Amino acid sequence: MDLLEVKNICKTYGSGETAVDALKNVSFSVPKGEFVAIVGESGSGKTTLLNMLGALDTPTSGNVLIDGRDTFSMKESELTVFRRRNIGFIFQSFNLIPELTVEQNMIFPVLLDYQKPNRKYLEELLTILNLKQRRDHLPSQLSGGQQQRAAIGRALLTRPSLILADEPTGNLDSRNSSEVIALLKEASKKYEQTIIMITHNRSIAQTADRVLKVSDGVLTDFGRCRE
């Protein structure tokens, strides 16, 4: 079953002679639990596409369906709740709250949704992410790799069906990059979460189940990578 369906997405900025077509009739689908990498040059439209998938921006035309629901047909209040419960975001700059500890950063989205965190799952994630000894540390007391692992934990704790990662290894060295990618792949398989990752690194992209390329707003599906 397809968790994500993208249908003829177009995004145009400006109008008339100054109009820029950032996305041109982009269509693809992703089954549940697949790990997809999106590659492309700077300015190609891949970040614009990720913003559409996460309902952070509105397309000029087209539809995005997550688990069969059209995100752009929802009212803003409904979309806010849906996004919080169904989509996890991982950013290159980590975006951790500096005044909160690792554990507090991880459970913050759950509390924001007026829910109680699943303590057993929290402990499991802290163990998998190798952060149990850092749970009470502030972001400023962590290495870059530890901060990114905390950000991954925050994205995973709400058990979203879709995780969107924008250059998650961009600020990391090769060893930490490999660890982060391994964690994302494990999440994809163990928790059956669909992961869409933007990366400039083609060797990292080849570790995904499937690679998509965006060039001048046009998407090309390179298909599944070899095991």
* pLDDT one-digit tens code per residue, 159-171: 899 999 998 888 7
**Are the C-beta atoms of 194 and 1 separated by less than 8 Å?**
no
- What is the β-pairing status of strands 61-66 and 2-13? antiparallel
CA dihedral sign, ordered 120, 185, 146, 54: negative
Residues 144 and 95: their CA atoms lie apart, in Å, by: 12
Is pLDDT of 63 > 80?
Answer: yes
Q: What is the pLDDT of residue 225?
A: 61
pLDDT of 35-56, one tens digit each? 999 999 888 999 999 999 999 9
Mean pLDDT of 129-156: 93
What's the start-to-end Cα distance of the chain, in Å?
A: 22
Tell me the domains of the chain and their CATH numbers: 32-58+75-224 (3.40.50.300)
CA distances from 213 to 49, 61, 112, 122 (A): 11, 20, 35, 35
Lowest mean pLDDT among 174-178, 197-201, 217-221: 174-178
**Are the C-beta atoms of 111 and 157 separated by less than 8 Å?**
no
- What is the β-pairing status of strands 194-198 and 35-39? parallel
Backbone φ and ψ for 220, nearest 5 degrees, come out as -120, 130
Q: What is the pLDDT of residue 226?
A: 53
Q: Model-level pTM greater than 0.75?
A: yes
pLDDT of 84-116, one tens digit each? 999 999 988 888 999 999 999 999 999 988 899
Is pLDDT of 217 > 60?
Answer: yes
